[in-house]
Amino acid sequence: MTPRPRPPPPPSSSLSSLTSSALLHSFVKNDVQHSTSRLASEEDVPQLTLANVCKDIYDGVVGLLINPQAARIVYPLVICFSSLLAKIVIKTVPYTEIDYSTYIQQIKLIDQGEIDYAEVYGDSGPIVYPAGFYSVYSYIYWFIGDNIKEAQNIFGYVFTASVLLTTVIYAQIWDVPPWPIYLLLASKRLVSIYMLRMFNDCWTTLAILGTVVLLQQAAVYKSTHNEKISDNGTESLNSKSEKRTKANKRKQTQQTQQTQENEIITKLNGFDLSYMLTLAAADLYSMAISIKMNALLYLPAFLIIVYFLNDENLFKFISVVLIIPFIQLVMGWKFLLPLYNDEVARQIRWNYITQAFDFKRKFLYEWTVNWRFLLEQVFLSDYFSRFLLVAHSATLLLFIFTRFLNERITGKLFNQLVKDAFNHKSTITYSKNAFVDKLIAPQLIFYIMAITNLIGVLFSRSLHYQFLAWYAWSFPALLLLNFPVYIGVPIWFVHEWCWNVFPSTKLSSILLVSILLVTIILSYINFKKWFPLSKTIAEYREWETAQKERKDE
């Protein structure tokens, strides 16, 4: 039996309202069910028997797996358990040294004054990550020195923070049952990447999760702003008619004052805040890139989302995008030496760019998780590399032109989108564009970002074991999008097995590539599932209207 929840507030500028809004349609159902149950007589109350108790237990277990209403209980529990899990793993499982000591050795060399990337080495090789990597690990070293346990504790906090941000993202998707949420804690490989290996992939992923949350919030603030403008316009029209009626003069005055207050609030907290959130998202996204380049896989999705969140205004869009190279310049200032142009400075600058952003880096066949079923000479060939690049580009373009820029999302045909892109004014259609609809936009933003990244993961030249952190947090939700629980959960465990086989085998790599490929194909086919059900939206609109009527009374 599900207890009757308190009626939630309508979506507003607070993050908690977003978490509630994704479940509001279930609240409406609960109100009706609770009212009906009050009318039930005592004769309808089931008797206390063993069979009834067992049935209640069964219903409770099933509800904690597939009932979206139970998610509001599961979210905080999973966050708490993630913290406990991190502490238990750190205390009971031996630390495994792979790259962390190399990271610290590289940091020490730079702290001693070496800024030429060609001269920065560690036990496992040269430094190959951008300057954000140096910033993160230099702070860690400054804070805890060579204490491995304390470093593990920091990564335990990163793990918990990643779970927290993921639950915030999931809470803004309609009808998420608990089972994908549990899977966030079920990956042995993912736990080891964070607490036992301490790879820099963890920090990049944390920044990406924060970026997605900021973009979702920007969409909600923008839609809230548009609603306020619409409400104010309606109130103004009503005010003109009320002026003709002396009996309603007092009410008209109150409404006028309320309208003026709403206009002030709108100017302060509406559009400007949405724009600032996209700027913050660009900042955080660029920091993710500066820690590790795999964050570039999200770039096409990020650009599309930011463009529409800024009203299809080219100038605003460019101002947001310019934040990305600016942050790269700031983070890499120490190694780019922009104020110097002698031969030594140019060489140091070039060494940084070529090593930190090396797109032609070769990977060892022995470490690949995804392409082990290929012959080694095929894996290492340039032809295979070109094939992956072409396949990645083609798949991404297919999704962009037929899904991400679909008329159902943008509210206009593609030809019109192209024409409007060269207009210096805002050309967005607020009544039709899904990115400015608070009920749809957060969900769409997640799917577009997650699918774009997964396409890049599928066609990566090689996946090493720590690369699971790139998409592990979004994968359960993509399984939910495409599979029922009795198929999605087994697929997840097969996928987890693929990442735990060491060294990888032909079978494990074939299964991994197949799972990723099928997930992407079904994500394309199930385009309608990217949107909430019309029935769900109708229930929410009905609830929202009722709340407004109560407020007016």
Question: pLDDT tens, 329-361?
Answer: 999 999 999 989 899 999 999 999 999 998 888
Residue 331 CA to residue 286 CA, distance in Å, equals: 10
Model pTM score: 0.85
> Are 267 and 224 within 8 A, CB to CB?
no
Residue 222's pLDDT is 82
Q: What is the pLDDT of residue 272?
A: 67
Interval 128-152 mean pLDDT: 96
Mean pLDDT value of segment 40-57: 75
Residue 444: what pLDDT?
97
CB neighbours of residue 426 within 10 Å: 14
State yes or no: pLDDT of 37 exceeds 60: no
What number is the average pLDDT over the span 35-52? Answer: 64
Beta bridge partners of residue 121, listed in sequence order: 126
Higher pLDDT, 404 or 418: 404
Euclidean distance between CA atoms 205 and 210, whole angstroms: 9
> Between these two residues, 39 and 500, which has the higher pLDDT value?
500
User: Lowest mean pLDDT: which of 208-212, 394-398, 427-431?
Assistant: 427-431
**Cis ω on the peptide bond leading into residue 177 (within 30° of 0)?**
no
Report the alpha-carbon distance of residue 380 to residue 413 in Å, rounded.
42
Residue 553 confidence (pLDDT): 66
Contact 467, 294 (CB under 8 A): yes
Average pLDDT over residues 436-460: 96
Check if the beta carbon of residue 449 is closer than 8 Å to that of residue 435: no
pLDDT at 77: 97
Average pLDDT score over residue span 94-120? 94
Residue 120's identity, in one-letter code, is V
Mean pLDDT of 438-445: 94
Q: Locate tokens 């309508």: which residue? A: 10
Split at pLDDT 50, 70, 90, the class of 487 is very high
Instruction: Please answer whether residues 410 and 433 qualify as being in contact, where contact means their C-beta atoms are separated by less than 8 angstroms.
Output: yes
Whether 377 has a pLDDT exceeding 80, the answer reads yes
Which helix (DSSP H) or strand (DSSP E) does residue 336 occupy? helix 333-336
List CB contacts of 53: < 8 A, sequence separation 6 or more: none
8 Å CB contact between 373 and 512: no
Q: Six-digit token pair at 135?
A: 């910033």
Cα dihedral across residues 278, 354, 351, 144: positive or negative: positive
The mean pLDDT value of the chain amounts to: 86
Distance from first CA to last CA of the chain, Å, rounded?
Answer: 34
**In this predicted model, what pLDDT tens digit does every residue of 211-221 receive, in sequence order?**
999 999 999 98
pLDDT digits (tens, 9 = 90+) for 267-317: 444 446 889 999 999 999 999 999 999 999 999 999 999 999 998 989 999
pLDDT value of position 25: 46
Which pair of structure tokens corresponds to residue 147?
């204490």
The SS3 call for residue 367 is helix
Alpha carbon distance 547, 541 (integer Å): 10
Distance CA 115, CA 110 (A): 6
Q: Which residues pair with 125 in a beta bridge?
A: 122
Beta carbons of 431 and 503 less than 8 angstroms apart: no
| CB-facing half-sphere around the CA of 251: CA atoms within 13 A | 14
Which tens digits make up the pLDDT trace of 219-260? Answer: 998 876 565 544 544 444 444 444 445 445 555 655 555 555
Range with the poorest average pLDDT among 37-41, 160-164, 374-378, 516-520: 37-41
Long-range Cβ contact pairs of 540-547 (< 8 A, separation 24 or more): 540/21, 540/24, 540/25, 540/28, 540/439, 542/28, 543/24, 543/25, 543/27, 543/28, 544/10, 544/24, 547/7, 547/10
> Residues near 149 by Cβ (< 8 Å), separated by ≥ 6?
90
pLDDT at 260: 52
Q: Give the SS3 label for residue 433.
A: coil
